[in-house]
Structure 1
Amino acid sequence: MTLQFPNRSRRFDEVRNAVRFIGHDGMFEVPFFVEAAALTLPGSMELSEADFLTAFDAARGSIHDVAREAYSYGRRTSYTLTEADFR
């Protein structure tokens, strides 16, 4: 099966300082995290949880593409996407 993202929900995880979202591979849920630094521009001022979620929503298509690529390299219990993954 191919990794899909039918559920548009996402939330900010303060402990990880990242936005969490879920992908689905058939009946399996695959958790992903996008580090906050990957959602900001260099030199940005301190952003709120709402700012990070808005940035995630604006880049959702490319985030899903990067998540699919990371998932294609092998199965793990979760995936953390960093700034380097988006270059």
Structure 2
Amino acid sequence: MLNFPNESRSYDATRHCIRFWGSDGAMEVSFFLEEDALTKIAVGTPSGESSLLASFDQNRDRILRAARKVYGRRHKGSYELIADDF
């Protein structure tokens, strides 16, 4: 079962996404939330690392629900969450 015990997240300026991690048993799972997806669920979020991370924190529950859904489709090393996942 996918859990998110680690509340760490970071902004990746190169990929324009927020990276966060989950775990399924002993396996760590990487997720990448595209900036466009975040601005879809948090309309009006200004660009910039601190604003995007704050928006992620405010919408964490919704993001984690989407991550679980995407993860359940198939298991692989990392997952990208896009606007259509919300």
Alignment match, 1:29: 28
Separation in 1, partners of 2:2, 2:26: 10
Under a length normalisation based on structure 1, what TM-score does the superposition of the two structures give?
Answer: 0.90
Query: Percent same amino acid among aligned pairs?
Result: 41
Alignment match, 1:85: 85
The residue identity in structure 2 corresponding to 1:50 is: S
Alignment match, 2:74: 74
Alignment match, 2:55: 55
RMSD: 1.8
Structure 1 segments, 4+ long, off by >6 Å, are none
For the Cα contact (< 8 Å) 2:34–2:82, is it kept in 1?
yes
Aligned length: 85
Unaligned runs of 5+ in 2: none
